[in-house]
Structure 1
Amino acid sequence: MIINLSETNSLVGEWLSEIRNIEVQQDRMRFRRNMERLGEVAAYEISKTLDYEEKEITTPMGIANCRVLKSQPVLATILRAGLALHQGLLHYFDKADHAFISAYRKHNHDGSFDISLEYVSTPSIDGQVLILSDPMLATGSSLVKTIEHLEEIGKPSHIHLVVAIACTVGIEYVLRNTKANLTIWAGDIDDELTAKGYIVPGLGDAGDLAFGNKLQQ
Structure 2
Amino acid sequence: MNLYKTAKWVVSAIFYPLFRIRITGKENIPKNGPVIICSNHTSNLDPPVVGITSPRDIYFMAKGELFEKPFLRKLLTNIHAFPVKRGMRDRTALRKGLEILEQGNTLGLFPEGTRSKTGQLGKPLAGAGFFALKSNATIIPCAIIGPYKPGSKLKVIYGEAVNMQAYRDSKASAKEAADAIMTEIGNLMENHHSQHASLDK
The question of a shared fold, defined as TM-score above 0.5 by the shorter chain, is answered with: no
TM-score of the two chains, using structure 1 as the length reference: 0.34
TM-score of the two chains, using structure 2 as the length reference: 0.36
Higher helix share: 2
Point out the structure with max Rg over C-alpha.
Answer: 1
Q: Which has the higher contact order (CA 8 A, sep 6+)?
A: 2
